[in-house]
A = this chain, B = another copy of it.
Amino acid sequence: MVRRTRAAMEATRATLLATARRVFGERGYADTSMDDLTAQAGLTRGALYHHFGDKKGLLAAVVEQIDAETDLRLQAISGTAEDAWQGFCDRCRAYLEMALEPEIQRIVLRDARAVLGGTLPNSQRHCIASMQRLIDNLIQQGVVAQADPRALALLIYGGLAETAFWIAEEDDGNVRLAQGAAALKLLLRGMLVEPGSS
């Protein structure tokens, strides 16, 4: 199969990305061989190293894609709410549920941190940045108490990710999901200027 039109070239990149996303999600980054992965995509490692540089580069591209999608899905939730505070709470809850999806859990929350570094400078940027903006707005509106929005966003985001692992290890996670959501509600109300009114 040797086709090299401009369209076919971008198709190659997309195929590689989609295959990597699937295989990384199933087997994890470390247990995935680049020979197997490219073979499943009907290509060889030559294409991969040309488009993504190395294995880490491929993972970074996958994480970038997942993060962008996740952020879009979350914005659809927090954007529709009438009340800004309620929209924020809904978004947190929605993230907790999305963090249960095997793809996000394994690729973004497990492998990406170890391979790409602690803070994930480029990727996973959108989700946290969006949450930070939401918080910032709430502070401006006088709903949330004065604090660094970034610190708050990270505190919440990290907590949700950790809790998601705990929920996901249970066969029927519905009980734990409810418990996690309830506990989340408690912590979130502390951010309010008037915590008692929640």
User: Given contacts A114-B113, A118-B105, A165-B118, is CB(A187)–CB(B183) below 8 Å?
Assistant: no
Determine, out of A43-51, A70-78, A79-87, A145-153, the stretch whose residues face the partner at the interface. A145-153
Cβ < 8 Å to B, chain A residues 158-198? 158-163, 165-166, 168-169, 176, 179-180, 182-184, 186-191, 194-196
Tell me if A40 is interfacial: C-beta within 8 Å of chain B. no
A14 within 8 A of B: no
Complex CA distance for A29 and B184, rounded to whole angstroms: 33
Given contacts A30-B115, A113-B114, A176-B151, contact A191 B195 (CB under 8 A): no
Q: How far is the CB of A152 from chain B (nearest CB, A)?
A: 5
Contact B110 A118 (CB under 8 A): yes
Contact of A162 (CB < 8 Å), options: B145, B154, B176: B154
A92 to chain B, nearest CB (A): 11
| Copies assembled | 2
Q: Please give me the residue from chain B that is nearest to A180 by CB atom.
A: B151
Check B187 against A195 for contact (C-beta < 8 Å).
Answer: no
Bound form: Cα–Cα A44–B115 in Å? 27
Name the B residues within 8 Å of A166 (CB-CB): 119, 150-151, 154
Known: A155-B180, A180-B155. A118 touches B187 (CB 8 A): no
**Chain B residues within an 8 Å CB radius of A169:** 118-119
Indicate if A52 sits at the interface (CB-CB under 8 A): no
A103 within 8 A of B: no
Contact assessment for A157 and B162 in the assembled complex, using a CB-CB cutoff below 8 Å: yes
Chain B minimum-CB-distance residue to A190: B190
Within 8 A of B (CB), among A32-75: none
Q: Which residues of B contact A152 (CB under 8 A)?
A: 183, 186-187
Residues of B within 8 A of A190 (CB): 186-191, 195
User: What are 5 pairs between A and B in contact, CB < 8 Å?
Assistant: A152-B183, A158-B161, A187-B187, A195-B195, A196-B196
Q: Sorted from nearest, which 8 A-B pairs have the closest CB atoms?
A: A158-B162, A190-B190, A114-B114, A195-B195, A159-B159, A118-B165, A155-B159, A148-B179
